[in-house]
Amino acid sequence: MGSRKFLLAVMILGLCQIGSAQSPTFGVGRTPTADEVRDWDISISPDGKELPPGRGSAKEGAQLYVQKGCAGCHGRTGSGAQAPTLIKSDGTTKSSMPCLAPCVNDNNVMALHSPFATVIWDYINRGMPLGKEGTLKPDEVYALTAFLLFKNGVIQESDVMDLQSLPKVVMPNRQGSALPAQEWKHGTSRLPKYP
């Protein structure tokens, strides 16, 4: 009888704890506004669900490539300059500068190597141009992405990139990435039977 009451008490306590885990314990920090979250959230999923409205074509991208200074570091042809190769070359242009580590050459040009076109958009949007990161407008990022995809033979020059078309681009290296076969778990080795 007594032990049963105790068990009931433990169960109620347990339920209370589950209940309390779903409401804040400390109440420290404030709730961001929807605008704040939108401004901060620059993550782009491979399915492109966070892509902003906007559009751009390879032709527009070709102009921006020069205007925004991309050509200054990556070269007018997109290869053979100091900064990583962006456009697969015919193999005849060789840089006079040492290739930066990690060295990006014809084999791992982003517009060919990336399994998803959204990754290129995200990379340009957050990381370029050097020293003016985060200043490109969505239209400009779409156009530059379209330019690189076209120059590497992934899309047609007439293709317009926007939040619908970009995630649908089938990248040549679509099967190029894998996750570990096992999900990470506390207290497990990284790869079973690896020496």
Partner 1 sequence: MDSTPRDRRRFLKKGAALAGLALGTASSASGQTPDSHAPEADGHSKDPKELAKELIAYGERSRFVTSVRVPVAERMSPDMFGLTFHVLTPLQDSVGIITPSSLFYVATHRGSFVPEINPSEHRFMIHGMVDRPLVFTMDELKRLPSVSRIHFIECLGNRAQARHKTVQDTHGLTSCAEWTGVPLSLLLKEAGVQNGASWIVAEGAEEVKGSSSIPLAKAMDDCLVCYGQNGEALRPQQGFPLRLMVPGFEGIYQIKYLRRIKVVDRYYMTYDDYGHINPDPKVAALTHQIGPKSVITFPSGGHQMSGPGFYEISGLAWSGAGAIRKVEITTDGGRSWHDAELRSPSYRMAHTRFGFAWKWDGKECVVMSRCTDELGTVQPTRAEAAKYWNKPLEGFRVPGADNTVQPWKVASDGKVSNGLT
Footprint of partner 1 (CB under 8 A): 21-26, 28-32, 36-37, 40-47, 73, 82-83, 97-98, 100-102, 110, 114-116, 119, 122-123, 126-127, 130-131, 133-134, 175-191, 194-195
Nearest to 166 by CA among 53, 78, 74, 62: 53
Minimal distance, residue 18 CB to partner 1, in Å: 12
- Residue 74 amino acid letter: H
71 versus 73: smaller Cβ distance to partner 1: 73
Minimal distance, residue 71 CB to partner 1, in Å: 15
Do you find a cis peptide bond into 24, omega within 30 degrees of 0? no
Hey, how many other C-beta atoms are within 10 angstroms of the C-beta on 39?
10
Close Cβ partners of 128 (under 8 Å, ≥ 6 residues apart): 70, 136
Minimal distance, residue 39 CB to partner 1, in Å: 10
135 versus 156: smaller Cβ distance to partner 1: 135
Separation CA 11–CA 42 (nearest Å) = 44
Minimal distance, residue 4 CB to partner 1, in Å: 32
3 versus 22: smaller Cβ distance to partner 1: 22
For residues 139 and 54, is the Cβ–Cβ distance under 8 A?
A: yes
